[in-house]
Amino acid sequence: MSRALVLFAHPCEESFGAALHENVVTTLKLKGWDVDDCDLYKEGFDPVLSTEERRGYHEEPANIEPVADYVARVRNADALVLSFPVWNFGYPAILKGFFDRVFLPGVSFKLVDGKVVPNLTNIKKLAAVTTYGGTRWRAFMAGDPPRKLVKRHLWHVTRPTSLKFLALYDMNRATAADRDAFHGNVTREIGSL
C-alpha cells in the first residue's frame, strides 16, 4: 500500500482549512492510501531552528537527530500533500519551520560540488491544497511565493511524477457555493493522485 504524508498547518479546528484537511485525509483513505496525518499544531511541532541545529546543519547524519521522527515520516512517504492557508503571501510559520528543520542536507537534498541534487525521490506524488484571502491577481502581483515554493522548490527536491497545486483565491469574499465547489475540486484532484 502506498503511503501519503499529509502536512496540515492551521491552528483552528473550526476553520475552512480544517475542513479541507479532513477532505484530503478522507479522500486519500477512500482511494486506498495509507495516510500519515501530520497535524503540526496538534503535534506541537517546534518550528524554530535552534542555534545548535544551524551550526550542525551540514553535519550528516547528526543533523537529523533533533527531528529524526519527522525525517523518517518524510522518507517513508510515496506522496506528500500539504494542507495550509496562505498568510502574508507565505506558508504559516509552523510549516515554513518544518521545511527549515526537516528538509536538511542528506534528507531532501545532497550537495554535490556545491549544487543541490534532489534526494526525496521516494515522493512520487506532490500536492498542495490552500486558500488565499486575496485574489489571484493580487497573489500574482506579489509573485505568488507559495505556488512557486511548491512547484519549483519542493518539485526540485522530490521530482514527482504528479504535481497538483489547488488554490481557492479570494477567500475574503468566497460564498458557500465557492467553498463547496472548491471542496469538490479537492475531492476530484486528490482522489486522482
Which pLDDT band, with edges at 50, 70 and 90, does 114 fall under? confident
Which pLDDT band, with edges at 50, 70 and 90, does 1 fall under? confident
What is the average pLDDT value for the chain, to the nearest integer?
96
Check residue 98 and give its pLDDT: 98
Share of the chain above pLDDT 70, in %: 100
Q: What is the per-residue pLDDT across 30-86, written as a single tens digit (0 to 9) for each?
A: 999 999 999 999 999 999 999 999 999 999 999 999 999 999 999 999 999 999 999
Long-range contact pairs involving 91-96 (C-beta distance under 8 Å, separation at least 24): 91/9, 91/146, 91/149, 92/9, 92/10, 93/47, 94/9, 94/40, 94/41, 94/45, 94/47, 95/7, 95/9, 95/40, 95/47, 96/47
Check residue 126 and give its pLDDT: 98
- Structural domains present in the chain: 3-191 (3.40.50.360)
What distance separates the 2 farthest-apart alpha carbons in the chain? 52
Task: Take residue 4 and report the three cell numbers written for it.
Answer: 501519503
Q: What is the per-residue pLDDT across 128-164, written as a single tens digit (0 to 9) for each?
A: 999 999 999 999 999 999 999 999 999 999 999 999 9
